[in-house]
Amino acid sequence: MPMAELDRRVAGCRACPRLVEWREEVARVKRAAFRDETYWGRPVPGFGPADAGLAVVGLAPAAHGANRTGRMFTGDRSGDVLYAALHAVGLASQPTSTRIDDGLELYGTRITAPVKCAPPANKPTPAERDRCRPWLEAELALLRPTLRAVVVLGAFGWQALLPVLAAFWRVPVPRPAFGHGVRHTLAAHDGGDPLHVFGCYHVSQQNTFTGKLTPAMVEEVLATAADAAEIRHK
């Protein structure tokens, strides 16, 4: 299945009743600042080329960010930090990501999440996370021929992603712990190229407003991961 077809199917999924209800209610009620906009209100597919060498993985779309705009990390403060950093290291065509039709392109990089629908309080249940797993598995299967590195944003994304990676690469037991700047190299089950997995604090306001995570820290992880994936960048 081509990536565009997978993205189309993801966007039509209604498998989690609680998340379907939440994402659609948020889209109906809206935040006052976006009252004149039509929210996406559906699952948010990954964004970026199907032959990416690097994946950036969060946890789930934000209620008034990607759930509004229909594109990962687009239209919220977390995305402001992430896309500015991607642009600073040469992985994005522009430093801002405000709308799905703003012309933004990613270079060699795809942004995705283990849970495709915005959850209440940004917390999917374990059952919702597990139900969504086949979508990310299918996405990784398509990326597998070119994917060489992953940057995982935050401990929750890390916990959700490692079991999915285990379908293709050897994940040590016990699983490696999350930390900012950690790097693990996973051998492939099929003897193919290994995958370099990097931890990065989540680009949430909680981390960026407090200075726990600075733009330079994000850029450093992204640049190191792009080097590991052998993507030409700044």
- Is 117 or 223 the residue whose CB approaches ligand SF4 more closely? 117
Cβ neighbours of 35 (radius 10 Å): 8
Q: How far is the CB of 161 from ligand SF4 (least distance, A)?
A: 14
Pattern 114-133, ligand SF4, x by CB under 6 A: -xxx----------x--xx-
Give the tokens for residue 69. Answer: 């705009």
Give the tokens for residue 229. Answer: 């994936």
151: β partners = 56, 198
In angstroms, rounded to a whole number, what is the distance separating the alpha carbons of residues 193 and 108?
Answer: 17
- Is 132 or 218 the residue whose CB approaches ligand SF4 more closely? 132
In the chain, alpha helices (H): 3-11, 17-29, 66-69, 77-88, 126-143, 155-165, 205-208, 215-228
Site for ligand SF4 in 81-120 (CB under 6 A): 115-117
- Is 66 or 228 the residue whose CB approaches ligand SF4 more closely? 66
Interacting residue with ligand SF4 among 26, 27, 43, 62 (CB under 6 A): 43
Q: For residues 70 and 87, is the Cβ–Cβ distance under 8 A?
A: no
Q: Is 139 in the site for ligand SF4 (CB under 6 A)?
A: no
- Is 67 or 208 the residue whose CB approaches ligand SF4 more closely? 67
Q: For residues 53 and 22, is the Cβ–Cβ distance under 8 A?
A: no
Which residues of this protein are in contact with ligand SF4, per CB under 6 A? 10, 13-16, 19-20, 43, 115-117, 128, 131-132, 135
